[in-house]
A = this chain, B = another copy of it.
């Protein structure tokens, strides 16, 4: 990884992810990002990632922040919370090891959509946009593989979110918003 993200300065930096490559590889059955990765590809990727330890209660991503990195949860548990219009945090998801967070902002640079809080002692492996760009140039097939998995993950999430939205609009009946 290039410079360590400032937004992670409150977490303990454990160095690059190479010595966690075995542990990361063992996550594959639970890891949509890496589902088609070989052990050699995981090792190569881990050179480009840094690992951080978050104590219980630490925010690893904060809604509205900038930030051009994604996280792979290696150990622990993270809750994803988003403020509703009454500023009450709503629980959106609970994230277990193998799942990733923050892919959208890594790619598009837009502010974070939700806050992610470690609710146990948690290890995260971080990949930032600059490292992804380096992977694409130095290891294009690995880069394409990562991007392909990101497209798949986003595509599935978009289907699920669109389905929920359609259901919500349907429940308002034929005169609801969005109907023509």
Contact = CB atoms under 8 A, between A and B. Distances in A.
Interface of A: 82, 84-86, 88, 90-91, 103-104, 107-108, 110, 113, 136-137, 140-141, 143-144, 147-148, 150-152, 154-159, 161-162, 164-166, 168-170, 174, 177-180
Main secondary structure of the interface of A (DSSP, over half): helix
Given A161-B161, A164-B165, A152 B91 contact: no
- Which has the most chain B C-beta neighbours within 10 Å: A103, A162, A164? A162
Given A147-B147, A165-B168, A170-B85, A152 B108 contact: yes
B143 A180 contact: no
B166 A168 contact: no
